[in-house]
Amino acid sequence: MTNNISEKMTSIGNAAKQAAQDMRKLNAEDRSKILMNVSSFIKSNHAKILEANQKDIKDAKDKNLSSPMINRLILDEKKINALVSTVESIAEMPDPLNKTLDEWSQPNALSFKKVTVPLGVIGIIYESRPNVTIDAASLCLRSGNIAILRGGKECIHSNTALYECIQEALSDLGFNKNLVCFVDDIDRKLVQELIQLNDYVDLIIPRGGLSLIRSISQNSTIPTLKHLNGICHTYWDEGYNKELAEKVIVNAKMRRPEICGATETLLINEKVDAESIKYVIESLEKQDCLIYGDQKLKSLMPSVNEATEEDWSTEYLDKKLSVKIVKDIHEATDHINQFSSGHTESCLTNSKETIDFFFQQCDSAILLHNASTQFADGGEFGFGAEIGISTDKLHVRGPVGAQHLVTFKYLVTGNNTVRPR
């Protein structure tokens, strides 16, 4: 282990590794019971959680953080209720452990079984979104993993209040409180220590801005599961109704522009008529969305901002959208594969040939047909929640749910079998 790990992080790592032994003794019913208890304590402590969240919001405003950043911090009654529902839905999910993935026998008289097991100890490093505290802890509990949670300083009060609900839920049932661990110190050096805690941690999952994820990816000595950013595209094909296009495109950009599944670039087939294009763009502008268009769009709507090459590779996370008019689906997919972060793309088309080409040629984790990119969410996929959306290709892509936080082992049975010389 690296010599510059502090006593604090060594203690947390050791507690997590020891707790993993206790986790292995729990069955699926035990883990579901813990989650339902977490849900109960969130309900009973909702006023305390909202009070803590208000401290974070006040601090964020005092520090002049951006509106999108503040929006990601906010918890309210509706979001608290959503957290409760999320935890309960995860508790009711099928157990992802001890599932037989494959089974076979060999001529050597051995029988083989491949079964799912937990990954072990997972360090989750995240910014801004206090709901990640509950989502990540719940998914790790459901999948039999130990979570070490390290949230950002901008939501420390909210995260602490939510973590206390988890601790109360574990204590109430008499389980090891370190089944979920938490780094309550906002000193950044502890992040660097966590990602070098090789003796204790099996996987690092970062969730946050591009700079955070790049830094962790470059410096972690532990395997990392990540998404770098969400440069998501929507392609509007010829013949697709303008009212339907407006409905989907506006939702894809404006429902929550600050999330990674928000569309950042709109690609429009050049055969879509000018009136329809103006109808959709003007609808976006009425909702205060800034449009950055290529020369073809500017020739139709001179008032839009001129797009630069940088716009095509920018994750705005704001009420901004780059727009390009393309020749066809071939040019659209070429653009997507060049500039996309491999996150989520949508194709609005009535053509089977077009959607087949789109699905075959686009190399992103999530591809949608006639639907908003904002469906890039573990809950919407039926995973209960997500610990992140992976743009990696190993070991999982897209929304990462409890069923993805597993590895496997082989169970091999013989009958006093020896290998011949």
Pair 200, 90 in one domain: yes
Pair 370, 311 in one domain: yes
Range of the domain at 250: 232-375
pLDDT band at residue 211 using 50, 70 and 90 as cut-offs = confident
Instruction: Using DSSP, state whether 262 is helix, strand or coil.
Output: coil
Q: How many CB atoms lie within 10 A of CB 317?
A: 21
Domain count, the chain: 2
- pTM of the shown model: 0.90
pLDDT band at residue 1 using 50, 70 and 90 as cut-offs = very low
Pair 126, 209 in one domain: yes
Pair 190, 239 in one domain: no
pLDDT of residue 3: 58
Q: Over pLDDT 70: what percentage of the chain?
A: 99
d(Cα 385, Cα 340) in Å, to the nearest integer? 24
Pair 89, 124 in one domain: yes
Q: How many CB atoms lie within 10 A of CB 190?
A: 19
HSE of 295 in the Cβ direction (CA atoms, 13 Å)?
A: 1
Pair 201, 162 in one domain: yes
Pair 158, 241 in one domain: no
Q: Has residue 390 been placed in a domain?
A: no
CATH number at residue 186: 3.40.605.10
- Which element (helix H / strand E) includes 140? helix 131-142
Pair 273, 344 in one domain: yes
Pair 148, 98 in one domain: yes
Alpha-carbon dihedral angle through residues 71, 204, 223, 5, given to the nearest 10 degrees: 130
Contacts of 392 (CB under 8 A, 6+ apart): 225, 226, 227
What's the N-to-C CA distance of the chain in angstroms?
Answer: 40
Q: Has residue 391 been placed in a domain?
A: no
d(Cα 162, Cα 181) in Å, to the nearest integer? 12
Do residues 231 and 314 lie in contact, with contact meaning Cβ atoms separated by under 8 Å?
A: yes
Rounded to the nearest integer, the mean pLDDT of the chain is 95
d(Cα 348, Cα 331) in Å, to the nearest integer? 15
